Structure 1
Amino acid sequence: MKALKNLVTGDGRTHIASKLMRESLVDRRTVATTASEQEFRILPDVTLVGLGGHSIFDRGKEALVPLANELAAIRQHHKLVLGVGGGTRVRHTVAIALDLGLPTGGIAQLVGAMEEANAVFLNALLAKHGSIVMQREHFWELPLYLEGGMLPIVISIPPYHFWEPPPENGPLPAHGSDFGLFIHAEVLGMERIIFVKDEDGLYDADPKSHENARFIRHIKLDELLANMPQELILDRQLFEAWRTARHVRKVQIVNGLRRGELTRALAGEPCGTVIEK
């Protein structure tokens, strides 16, 4: 009987009494009323560490094995989730997909499959230290892994799959691995992401092709958005999404080829590039 008292009728429909009844959830005024002062943070004490596919995995054991050893030591002192990119295999597979004329959503599916291969490689190196590969979208298993002392490894590409929105230009999926890791961290309420690349951090131009590229050691998000470099080491969509994000406060880029730099970053030392909101 109590449940019946919460039902509202009179317009030809039956509603459950709430501030959203009779409202369209795509109406801007309605959406504006749903803002909350504080969202619940699921894993606030966890740091997401992203290992670049092209910058780290493609370099083979010379880059990956020492980094795996460093991660094995780090995990004793920090709660971590590791994300992996796909690297050159993604580029090769996408080239084939474009040649075959596959749609954007089909290409997005293939990218995730290539990243899963790198997750398996990293898991083989870290298995004796308690690593485990998380299956796509099994996010609710992460707390169980972490509480059990395991080191979860996730793929980076966001799980749009066949639902990848059509991009503005060409058929390539607009949402890349860096963006996917950022969304992963934001949804789970993490404050910090560390991207492990093969460069010292963020520059105002690509240092591989511009000798006079200026290194950016520390910058605020608003300042970066106001003067965005043409060439970026991270996905442009990451910074656009960060503009309205609620949880991620710091993004750090470190050089994974410099031994110990990831350890220093996790300890809070000012290395690489730090971007703060």
Structure 2
Amino acid sequence: MKDVAIENPLHLLGRLRLGREEYCQRLLTMLIVGGPYPRWNRRTRPSPQGAAFLRSLDELSFGPTEWNGPPLFVDEFELRPRHDDEQGGAPDYAVLWNERLWMIELKTERSSHRQGQLSGYYTLADHHHPGLAVDLTYLTPPLTFTPPASRDGSRFAHVTWTRILPLLEEIWGEGTNVERHVLTTLRAALESIGSNWSDWRAQRVGVRRDEPPAVEDTAMTLAEATARDGRQRAVDHPTADLDQLQHLRLTLRQAIRTSPEQSPIRHVMPWLWSATTSGGTALTASGHDTGFELRLSRYQKPVC
């Protein structure tokens, strides 16, 4: 693998205003795939080192497990909503075989634990991937929560970050210069859990940015503009993950639905554009990078 394939982690930290959770995910993903951060929901082969890490995490989660051939790896695994009024889901990682789906959800902030999120992943995975054995690993700081209810043919494991640090060091501690730099930065970010992330970030990139406007307000302003002129628009949200985009779609849909009946905005539909399934090209920089963006389109009849 060429060192230039992986983005410098400090450049990434300065280029995007990522939270700690998203930053750690991107660093770990680049190590697993042995290259640039991929578009969301794209099925790729992990590097040999990435496969070795995943196998170790699998054994840590569920004990010795027979792998039926090399798996596919997905960052931001899309589980579409079953209807327009459902959010949908997006586990941070998925590892896929013909007979098994293993989902991995990463958390660095205890406050980001969301009730019903894990059980929702099982429900949507069973719906979209019937016949597969479905497992889920929850990788977090020390955290007290109620695990999802047990399900036939499914397994659940809670693993803390401290338990995988030795695995990371074993796999990439003697890697290339870039891999070791990514590993060192990832460890430092993980060790910062519980501290102020804005301070940690500012110490490394030398700048503290003002908080941007709430993305919900920005999205509603774009929806109102589309209601007036009919031009399709997209929300540029570079710090979001796919789960957050799904949540934003549903939040915006609900806000539009509560508008006055004769309001033009009732004709605007928020929807998720995917580079893989929707056709066309991205309208935003974040859509180009990730392959997903929230679109706003006006229709002749009210849609929300």
TM-score tier after normalising by the smaller chain length: under 0.3
Larger relative contact order (CA 8 Å, sep ≥ 6): 1
TM-score (normalised: structure 2): 0.25
Q: Whose helix fraction is larger, Structure 1's or Structure 2's?
A: 2
Rg larger in structure:
1
TM-score (normalised: structure 1): 0.27
